[in-house]
Structure formats: structure tokens, C-alpha cells
Chain A
Amino acid sequence: MIYLELFLQFFHIGLFSYGGGYATLPFLFHIAEVQKWYTAKQLTDMIAISTITPGPVGVNVATFAGFATSGLLGALVATTSIILPSYILVIIISKLLEQFKTNKNVQAAIYALKPAGCGLLAAVGIDLFVSNANIWGMVLLGILFFISTKQKRDPLFYLGVSAIAGLAAGYMHLIS
């Protein structure tokens, strides 16, 4: 039953990803490896598209992954189930706001969750870096990195530059 599996996978992402939309990515790459519903390459394309389309990146990627797995209904199931834990938790927290803010155990958990989410994301970055390690890719990354040290730019700017660089590289037959 693919829809039940989709529901369970995306519900667990919604429940365990800490640190916003990008924090869902380690889980989505893990799914690519284990469930093989889509490939890591497809997921990378999805992330790029999700960044240039309206809406929170996490929602975009979930919709995309669900669609890739089993069409429109899959997209609906994935998107609903990634949001559902947030919905339930936020409603509960809204009702118990003071307890939530002052509970020592809750605060201690959050304190440790954020660096963990960050560590997971760094691991994804390194994985992608290694799997893309060809000479022209590294040249492009070096250029992007250099730009970022000069001035703070919007994510869209970096994607725009890399799309143009990709077109140029394709035109010059630098990539196979």
C-alpha cells in the first residue's frame, strides 16, 4: 500500500525534522537511498526547482517527492502528512503556551535538537559535494563561494548564476 507508506514516511519527516524546510532534506535523501522512490539526482533537481517556485521549500519538495512516487494523490498524501505533525503540535503548544516555554525538559530537548538538525544538513551537503566532485563543478562552486564572501546574496541569485553556467558548460561540451 504505497499511500500508507508515503503517509508514514512523510509524517515521520514532519515530526523529526528540526530547523525548517532545509532540515527535511536529510530525511528525503535517506528515503532516496532506502525506499528508492526517486534518485538523489532527481531530489537535487527538485530542491533547485523548489527554491525558484513560490512557497516554503519544505512543502515544495514534499509535493514533488510525493508526485514522483505516485502522482497527484501521492503529492496530496505527502504534503498533508509532512504538515500534520506541525499542525497537531502547534495547536497543543498554543493551548499550553506557558508550560511549553518554561518546561525544562522541552527547552533542553530543543537546545540539543537544533545543532543535530544542523549536523544532518551538513552531512547532506558533504554527500552532494562528493558525488558532484568533477573539475568544472568544483570551478563553479568555487566561483559561487567567492561571490558569497564578497556580498550576501539571495538563494535565487546563486541558482540563476549556476543555471547560466550550466547552459554555458553544456554549450561548450564541458559536461557529458
Chain B
Amino acid sequence: MDKSFYTIFKTFFKVGTLLLGGGYVILPLLQSELVDKKGWIDSDGLCEYYALGQSVPGIIAANMSIFVGYKLRGQIGALAAVLGIVSPAFLTIVLLASILEEIVHLSFIQSIFWGVGIGVIMLLYLATKEMWNKSIIDKFTCIIFFASFILSACFKVSPALIIILSIIAGIIYRKKHQDSVGEKILRECKDDLS
């Protein structure tokens, strides 16, 4: 099984290129590339990394890539995987950003941006709903949700401070069934892929 820097980079570069529309497609994509085509990990392993990827801060697709890359070839594999997943996004945006500055003042472009500005609100609603389903599982998580929401929306408290406060709240409150969040993701992932 070929696990060279180049092969790992190329595989994740492909995933990064096909990853459109905001991460919803990451699971089926990784399943097809890593599990079916390359056989680097199995479905259960993928789900485990999916759950773990969400337990780490930052972009989930990047987290999962680093986990898998590290498992394949240690530090070298992790570096190859993260460079692979990030490069397509980086290159596309750098190219687009320069073009965009030239065309952004055109009136039909302005009209499109007016429309997609509304579309983005819809996407935020959908993303929030998806996160809600994954993370609000009892009274405590519900309280954390509304507390964060109110502190941010009404009092403009910095997001980092809210995150730190919620960590403290979680540790003070901790109780027996606290790992059920990770287990829920793992279970749903296995259902999705089977």
C-alpha cells in the first residue's frame, strides 16, 4: 500500500477539490476516497475520526485529515494531508479574490451579492439547526446555548470569552453521561455510512 507523502497529498488534494457547499459532503467523500479506493482505514475508523474531528477546535475537514494523515505516516502524513485538503481552497480563493476586486462594482454582480447575502442567512440557519441537533441533548446544553446566544447577540461579549466560560461551566457541571455527545455522533455516522 503506497503511503508516500505525494500519494497522501494527492488523495487529500482531490478531497479538498471535491468538497463543495460547506462540509456536509465530507463523510461520503472520505468514505469513497480513503475507505473504498485506498483502503487506508475502514468505515468504523472513519466514524471515529469524524467524532474526534469534532472534539477538536477548528475546521472539521482539516482536523479529520490531520488525524488520518498522522495515522498513516506520522508527522509527514499529517503534513501531507493538511496541505492537500487546504491547497485547493487557498489557490481558488487567492485567484478569485484578485478577479473579484475588478468586478465587484458591476451592478449585476451587486445584484447577485444582494441575493446570496440573503442565501447566506438561510445557510446560517441550516448550519445552526444541524449543530443544534448534534449538541443540544439536555437541559444543561440548552442553557449553555441560550446563555452564549444572549451574551453574544445582546451584550457583544467576545466569542473567545464565551467559549472559555462554557469550558469552565462544563467542567464545574460535569456528570456521568457527559460523553454521550461523542457517542451520538459516532452512532449517527455509522448509520449514515451503512
Residues of A within 8 A of B (CB): 12, 14-27, 30, 33, 41, 44-45, 47-60, 63-64, 67-68, 72, 75-76, 79, 82-83, 85-87, 89-91, 93-94, 100-101, 104-129, 132, 137, 140-141, 144-145, 148, 154-156, 158-159, 161-167, 169-171, 175
Contacts and interface: CB of A to CB of B under 8 A. Distances in A.
B189 to A, nearest CB: 14
A141 B126 CA distance: 12
Interface string B3-46: 00000000000001111111110100000000000000000000
Given A59-B90, A87-B66, 4 more contacts: A108-B174, A140-B118, A165-B118, A166-B111
B24 A90 contact: no
B90 A108 contact: no
Contacts of B179: 101, 107, 111
A106 to B, nearest CB: 8
B93 A120 contact: no
B80 to A, nearest CB: 12
Nearest to B153: A123
Contacts of A83: 58-59, 62, 82, 86
B193 interface: no
Size band of the B side of the interface? 35 or more
Nearest to B25: A154
A52 B166 contact: no
Contact of A18 (B57, B82, B93): B57
A124 B124 contact: yes
B66 A86 contact: yes
Contact of A14 (B16, B57, B116, B162): B57
The interface residues of chain B, by DSSP majority, are classed as helix
Contacts of A23: 131
The 4 nearest A-B residue pairs measured at CB: A166-B115, A55-B89, A112-B170, A170-B111
Interface in B155-176: 156, 158-160, 162-167, 169-171, 173-175
A119 B124 contact: no
B70 A94 contact: yes
Given A27-B160, A57-B22, A121-B124, A116 B148 contact: yes
Contact of B78 (A49, A58, A90, A117): A90
Contact of A170 (B110, B148, B170): B110
A176 B173 CA distance: 51
B167 A112 contact: yes
Given A79-B90, A125-B125, A118 B145 contact: yes
A17 B58 CA distance: 5
Interface in B113-141: 113-128, 131-132, 134-136, 140-141
Contacts of B131: 19-20, 22-23, 114, 117-118, 121
9 contacts: A51-B123, A57-B22, A64-B93, A93-B56, A107-B174, A111-B140, A114-B141, A128-B124, A166-B111
A134 to B, nearest CB: 10
A164 B58 CA distance: 33
B23 A20 contact: yes
B97 A75 contact: yes
Nearest to A129: B121
Given A93-B52, A107-B182, A163 B115 contact: yes
Contacts of A165: 115, 118
